[in-house]
């Protein structure tokens, strides 16, 4: 019995010693990491002042960091320097310094044992209703190992806030970015996640309202931030990955998009080409001048030229399409499914196209419950009705194109040569409507012109320069 008690006592003592040993080593690791940060010379930033407080269970460091915006500009390709980037970096250059606070839990077993806080230099506890009342607008959380390396998930969090700045407002709830499987030693991460329960920004007229946003992207190989900055951040390349984006609601300029889901994937075939499947769905789009529901889109793009993609995404691209380069890998595009309900009418489509340097082949089929002009006035004005033929109670459009034989190119719309088919397309609802004048003199059309909501948002007042959807004569003095 005594042996058991002695063994238990020894075990407890050993565990306590081990615990305090790791606390001590974590404290030393924190001190080492802070001192290394202060001593490190980087052209993009300078630490002007520092105050490090070492404790047994917690350590704290405060820094005043100067961002060297001009150095960043000097090291960046002039073609990448947009007006917005230059303006932002010049603003950073003119700021005396950014206050950073680092809090460390000296416990290797603690989750998120490092906290970084971006301190607001104009913080005022008495201030109400503006950003000065937010002491730490941005924070970061991650795990620090005994080797003074960051390993695991790095979380960047925007403080919960509801502030007003003149006519502008900003509301944020549970908004954060996570770099998963992050390693400070190699500056790598394997996945990222962006989340926001609620984010509202802007004025009454230009407000954007986001509810329940979540985005997760997993990479086949870890992204090295230093090596892959140009490719990932500047969009000069791509990485094999799978991504899912979703949001409960997005509102802007009087349009509400409900329950949006987006799925993307990039997979390499070889060094020359890649595939990129793409899907999205929307439950409803409201206040858009029409009632839109059940939007589904499923697209496969296969054998896309990597060289072509990098060329058109480069800032030096002149906007040309570079068809020969695009067709060099014999790409194929397949619209597996597109379906939408507009004003209670169902419209669906399928299409596919293949390209080589010598030939292009394409076909498409669209089916609608009603004439498009009956669904919305805009389609009638564009002459879409006469592009469809009636089959089995539906309105159908079939398109075929094949230029394999340059001496006998096939281009058909509903089995008619396309040149003849377009000659038969009138402008408006029927053959009697020949011009814009006829359209706006047509009594039936005038009764329906309110369907087109192009002059403004009825939710905005005249004080903001909006007509509330009413058509007004520009020559009127009223």
Residue-wise pLDDT for 86-113, tens only, equals: 666 676 677 677 788 877 776 655 566 6
Give the per-residue pLDDT at 202: 84
Q: What's the whole-number average pLDDT of the chain?
A: 76
Residue 434 has pLDDT above 60, yes or no: no
Give the per-residue pLDDT at 477: 44
Q: Which two tokens stand for residue 353?
A: 């196209």
Residue-wise pLDDT for 50-79, tens only, equals: 777 776 667 777 878 777 777 766 766 665
Higher pLDDT, 205 or 214: 214
Q: What Rg do the C-alpha atoms of the chain give, in angstroms?
A: 30
Q: Within 10 Å of residue 445's Cβ, how many Cβ atoms?
A: 17
Q: Where are the beta strands (DSSP E) in 184-277?
A: 188-202, 208-224, 241-252, 255-268, 273-275
Residue-wise pLDDT for 303-326, tens only, equals: 999 889 888 876 556 678 889 999
User: Does residue 150 form part of some domain?
Assistant: no
220-228: average pLDDT: 75
- How far, in Å, CA of 140 to CA of 223, rounded? 20
Domain count for the chain: 1
User: Does residue 70 form part of some domain?
Assistant: yes
Residue 147 has pLDDT above 80, yes or no: no
142-147: average pLDDT: 57
- How far, in Å, CA of 221 to CA of 243, rounded? 14
Confidence of residue 472 (pLDDT cuts 50, 70, 90): very low
User: Does residue 415 form part of some domain?
Assistant: no
DSSP, collapsed to helix, strand or coil, labels residue 315 as: coil
Contact assessment for residue 168 and residue 161, using Cβ atoms and an 8 Å cutoff: no
User: Does residue 26 form part of some domain?
Assistant: yes
The string of DSSP codes covering 65-110 is EEE-HHHHHHTS-GGG--HHHHHHHHHHHHS--EEEEEEEE--TTS
Confidence of residue 412 (pLDDT cuts 50, 70, 90): very high
358-380: average pLDDT: 89
Residue-wise pLDDT for 240-277, tens only, equals: 899 999 999 999 888 899 999 999 999 999 889 999 99
Residue recorded with tokens 């009418």: 345
313 contact partners, CB below 8 Å, separation of at least 6: 235, 236, 237
User: Does residue 48 form part of some domain?
Assistant: yes
Contact assessment for residue 12 and residue 20, using Cβ atoms and an 8 Å cutoff: no
Domain containing 75 equals 20-124+131-140
What φ, ψ does residue 112 adopt, rounded to 5°? 55, 55
User: Does residue 334 form part of some domain?
Assistant: no
Residue 430 has pLDDT above 60, yes or no: no
Contact assessment for residue 221 and residue 187, using Cβ atoms and an 8 Å cutoff: no
Q: Which two tokens stand for residue 13?
A: 């003592």
Give the per-residue pLDDT at 278: 94
Residue 443 has pLDDT above 50, yes or no: no
User: Does residue 271 form part of some domain?
Assistant: no
192-196: average pLDDT: 94
Lowest mean pLDDT among 32-46, 280-294, 454-468: 454-468
Give the per-residue pLDDT at 28: 66
- In residues, how long is the chain? 478
- How far, in Å, CA of 113 to CA of 119, rounded? 19
DSSP, collapsed to helix, strand or coil, labels residue 106 as: coil
Residue-wise pLDDT for 341-360, tens only, equals: 998 899 999 999 999 999 99
> CA–CA distance from 379 to each of 158, 383, 386, 456 (Å)?
44, 6, 10, 20
Burial of 334 (0-12, 13-18, 19+ CB in 10 A): middle
Residue-wise pLDDT for 288-307, tens only, equals: 677 899 999 999 999 999 88
Lowest mean pLDDT among 40-49, 373-382, 463-472: 463-472
User: Does residue 67 form part of some domain?
Assistant: yes
Q: Which two tokens stand for residue 95?
A: 């700021």
């Amino acid at each position: 019995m005594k042996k058991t008690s002695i063994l238990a006592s020894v075990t407890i003592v050993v565990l306590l010693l081990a615990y305090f040993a790791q606390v001590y080593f974590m404290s030393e690791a924190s001190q080492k990491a802070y001192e290394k940060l202060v001593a490190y010379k980087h052209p993009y930033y300078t630490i002007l002042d520092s105050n490090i407080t070492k404790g047994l269970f917690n350590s704290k460091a405060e820094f005043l960091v100067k961002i060297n915006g001009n150095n960043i500009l000097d090291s960046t390709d002039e073609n990448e320097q947009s007006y917005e980037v230059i303006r932002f970096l010049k603003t950073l250059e003119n700021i005396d310094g950014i206050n950073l606070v680092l809090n460390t839990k000296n416990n290797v077993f603690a989750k998120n044992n490092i906290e970084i806080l971006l301190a607001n230099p104009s913080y005022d506890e008495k201030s109400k209703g503006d950003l000065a009342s937010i002491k730490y607008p941005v924070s970061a959380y991650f795990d620090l190992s005994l080797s003074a390396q960051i390993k695991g998930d790095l979380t960047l969090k925007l403080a919960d806030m509801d502030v007003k700045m003149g006519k502008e407002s900003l509301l944020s709830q549970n908004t954060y970015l996570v770099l998963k499987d992050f390693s400070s030693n190699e500056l790598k991460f394997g996945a990222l996640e962006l989340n926001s329960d609620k984010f509202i920004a802007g004025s009454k007229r230009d407000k954007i309202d986001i509810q329940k946003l979540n985005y997760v992207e997993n990479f086949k190989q870890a992204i090295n931030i230093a090596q892959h900055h140009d490719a990932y951040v500047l969009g000069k390349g791509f990485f094999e990955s799978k991504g899912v984006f979703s949001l409960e609601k997005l509102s802007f300029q009087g349009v509400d998009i409900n329950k949006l889901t987006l799925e993307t994937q990039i997979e390499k075939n070889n060094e020359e080409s890649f595939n990129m499947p793409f899907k999205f769905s929307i439950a409803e789009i409201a206040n858009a001048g029409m009632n839109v529901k059940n939007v589904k889109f499923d697209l496969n793009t296969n054998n896309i030229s990597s060289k072509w993609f990098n060329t058109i995404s480069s800032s030096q691209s002149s906007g040309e399409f570079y068809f020969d380069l695009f067709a060099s890998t014999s790409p194929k595009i397949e619209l597996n499914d597109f379906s939408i309900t507009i004003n209670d009418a169902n419209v669906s489509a399928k299409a596919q196209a293949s390209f080589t340097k010598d030939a292009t082949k394409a076909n498409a089929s669209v089916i609608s419950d009603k004439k498009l002009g009956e669904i919305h006035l805009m389609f009638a004005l564009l002459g879409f009705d006469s592009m469809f033929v009636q089959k089995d109670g539906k309105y159908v459009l079939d398109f075929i194109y094949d230029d394999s034989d340059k001496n006998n190119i096939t281009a058909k719309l509903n089995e008619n040569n396309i040149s003849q088919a377009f000659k038969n397309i009138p402008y408006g609802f029927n053959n009697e409507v020949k011009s814009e004048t006829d359209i706006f003199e047509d009594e039936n059309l005038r009764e329906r012109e309110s369907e087109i909501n192009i002059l403004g948002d009825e939710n905005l007042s005249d004080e903001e320069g909006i007509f509330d959807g009413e058509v007004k004569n520009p020559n009127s003095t009223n």
